[in-house]
Amino acid sequence: MTENPVLPPALDRGPVLLRRDLIADGYSDHTIARLVRGGVLTKLRYGSYVASEIWERSSKAERHLLVARAVLVRAESSAVLSHVTALVAHGAPLWGLPIDEVHLTRTDEKAGRRMAGVVQHRGRLERAELVDVAAMPVTCPARTALDAMAVLPAEVALVAINHLLNVGTVSQEELAQAGSDANHAPGSLRRQVVLRLVDDRIESVAESRFWYLLFRAGLPMPIPQYAVFDGRRVLLGRVDFAWPEYGLFVEIDGRGKYREHRRDGDDVVDTVLREKDREDAIRAATGWRCLRLTWRDLENPERTVALVRDALAGRMHHR
């Protein structure tokens, strides 16, 4: 038995270490508790641990998936990661996602339940609806999207699914086919709303939220990622959203926009000035007006709807 352990045993079984395996490797419960107190191991769930160095360098999404892996390893029934947890596994942004619980779908078709940080869903899964992600069984992107629409608020589901569409994890054709196969499944009305709104041109959380805000307000829907050319057909740039018939375009300064468009050697001021030059060139070439919105505007939907409505009517406000 290890008397003065410094490191956990070899991780040849994977990152999640089970109590039964630690005991088999010669570690007593007292020693395991000492490893946790000493910061060598981090407890994931009852009887499940991970090396603290792995936990500390993991993102929120990676931590959720470590807990999910622990749940799968100890699951008493055959199950796969699904719903919210499958969204995380497929790389969806975490905005609005309730990742305090792990979501599974049981493949034995027995009733699901919710307990101890785990939500078990009941559902019939075809073999084609399952994929492997980091050696874990996960519902495929199209099935994941449909399941997410059934349990998440429409805006949150839209944000996640638009991301999967934009990066090519799933296609609109796959979503449409899966949606037609599930017309009578629970959550079908919400699913129809989200399927109507999904668009692979939308590139960010902020853009998806704005898209949903326009829909909820009953405003005319713009063209996402609208390409603007000068008189010689030279591309001046793409704007986040445009209403050509209203002579208006919208740029949304999301949290990561300037970081994403920053060039090597640039500081933030360089990036902002270049963005301003691009906006000026587009306005000069088109004669259109620009409404620039921020994340803070999205948190104040009534005011933002009023701004957009006034801008569409030709009444622009200095901000």
Helix (H, G, I), strand (E, B), or coil: what is residue 224? strand
With 60 as the cut, is the pLDDT of residue 61 above it?
yes
Going by C-alpha positions, the residue among 209, 83, 225, 70 that lies closest to residue 140 is 83
- 241 and 222 Cβ atoms separated by less than 8 Å: yes
Cα 228 to Cα 269: distance, rounded to the nearest angstrom = 24
For residue range 242-290, list pLDDT tens digits in order. Answer: 999 999 999 998 655 545 555 555 555 556 667 788 888 899 899 999 9
- Report the percentage of the chain scoring pLDDT > 70: 84
Between 53 and 9, name the one with better pLDDT: 53
Residues of the chain with CATH 3.40.960: 205-312
Give the strands of the sheet with 223-229, arranged side by side. Answer: 223-229, 235-243, 248-253, 289-294
Q: CA torsion angle for 159, 161, 166, 172 (degrees, to 10)? A: -140
Bridge partners (DSSP) listed for residue 250: 241, 291
Q: How confident is the model at residue 149 (pLDDT cuts 50, 70, 90)?
A: very high
Q: How much is the pLDDT for 258? A: 47
Q: What tens digit of pLDDT does each residue of 162-204 get?
A: 999 999 999 999 998 887 766 555 557 788 899 999 999 999 9
Instruction: Produce one character per residue of 121-157: b if its CB has 16 or more CB atoms within 10 Å, e if not.
Output: bebebeeebbbebeebbbbbbbbbbbbbbbbbebbbb
CA distance 44 to 31: 17
29-59 pLDDT, tens digit per residue, is 999 999 999 999 999 999 999 999 999 999 9
Identity of residue 144: T
Q: What is the pLDDT of residue 14?
A: 79
**Mean of pLDDT over the chain:** 88
Whether the pLDDT of residue 156 is over 80: the answer is yes
Q: Which of 105-109, 230-234, 306-310, 314-318 is least confident? A: 314-318
Fold classification of 205-312 (topology level): Endonuclease; Chain A (3.40.960)
For residue 231, pLDDT over 90 is answered with no
Instruction: Kindly report which listed range (110-114, 232-236, 298-302) carries the lowest average pLDDT score.
Output: 110-114
Burial of 104 (0-12, 13-18, 19+ CB in 10 A): buried
Concatenate the DSSP letters of all residues of 182-211 into one string. Answer: TTTSTTHHHHHHHHHH--TT--SHHHHHHH
pLDDT of residue 96: 97
